Amino acid sequence: MTKTQRLVGAMAALIIVASAEAQPAQPPTAAVNIVLVHGALIDGSSWRGVYDVLTRDGYRVSIVQQPLTGLVDDVAATKRVIDQQQDGAVVLVGHSYGGTIITVAGADPKVRALVYVAALQPDVGETTNQLAASMPGAVRSGDLKPTKDGVIFFDSTKFAADVAADLPPAQAKFMANSQMPVAAAAFEAPVMVAAWHDKPSYGIVATADRELSPMLARWMYNRSGAKVTEIKGSHLVFISQPGAVARVIETAARDIK
């Protein structure tokens, strides 16, 4: 073999390796649908980074735009999206208050796994407020601003430091000024079913979370027997570190039997 032939062969091998490395992770053979549920004060667009990773890797992803008008309404909006998945299993993912929502909506037989991203994971009879108050985070209760008609905003001047400390300042400021308020009643509604008793769950602890105490997150996820992943990040860890969060969701999808 001549020197030129050896060089061509080596270049071809490099191209093959590079091509293989560029391929996204392959999803399971069976169809898997991933449904993402946002928390309070934000909307479904907050999942864009995670959505981009999951869809690039071949998963079918839907995002719930729940109204945040009450737990019953928010569960109904989530089940409406689950019902649209006509084939394959569903991995249901919730952030923050979205964890309360998926705990109830996850009872749907299509749902095969639950992923809690810095999220509440209540048991039957517990409310979001009751559980969050059992081990308070570092955020002062006065930073939540109720209105006369029963909805809650977060103090926009405290939003970046309390909720989004690891996001670019301009992005955090925009989110602070574009909040989607949540009905106070949603946090007082008791959970009537807890799907994590019957289905595998995965919990992400954001170790720099000021909104949801990391100690509470660990306690909840230990109680449920969830597979726990700790990621250094704020309460909005799924925005600041979408790749790390997507890897946990993909693990849940691959574990489905």
Q: What's the pLDDT at 26?
A: 52
- DSSP conformation class of 68: -
Q: What's the pLDDT at 30?
A: 56
Instruction: List the helix and strand counts (H, then E) for the chain.
Output: 10, 9
Q: What is the CA radius of gyration of the chain?
A: 20
Instruction: Judge whether residue 189 has pLDDT over 50.
Output: yes
Instruction: Judge whether residue 36 has pLDDT over 50.
Output: yes
pTM, entire model: 0.88
* 8 Å CB contact between 106 and 79: no
SS3 content of the chain, % helix, strand, coil (to 5): 45, 20, 35
CA 190/CA 130 separation, integer angstroms: 9
In tens, the pLDDT along 60-80 reads 999 999 999 999 999 999 999
Q: What's the pLDDT at 157?
A: 95
* 8 Å CB contact between 66 and 11: no
- DSSP conformation class of 81: H
Average pLDDT over residues 145-153: 94
- List the chain domain ranges: 29-255
Least confident of 77-91, 178-192, 226-240: 77-91
> Please, which pLDDT band fits residue 200 given cuts at 50, 70 and 90?
very high
In tens, the pLDDT along 89-127 reads 999 999 999 999 999 999 999 999 999 999 999 999 999
> Residue 15 has which token pair?
């191209």
* 8 Å CB contact between 251 and 93: no
Work out the burial of residue 50: count CB atoms within 10 Å of its CB; fewer than 13 is exposed, 13-18 middle, 19 or more buried.
Answer: buried
CATH of domain 29-255: 3.40.50.1820
SS3 (DSSP) at 136: coil
What's the mean per-residue pLDDT of the chain? 90
In tens, the pLDDT along 12-29 reads 433 333 333 334 455 544
Instruction: Judge whether residue 183 has pLDDT over 60.
Output: yes
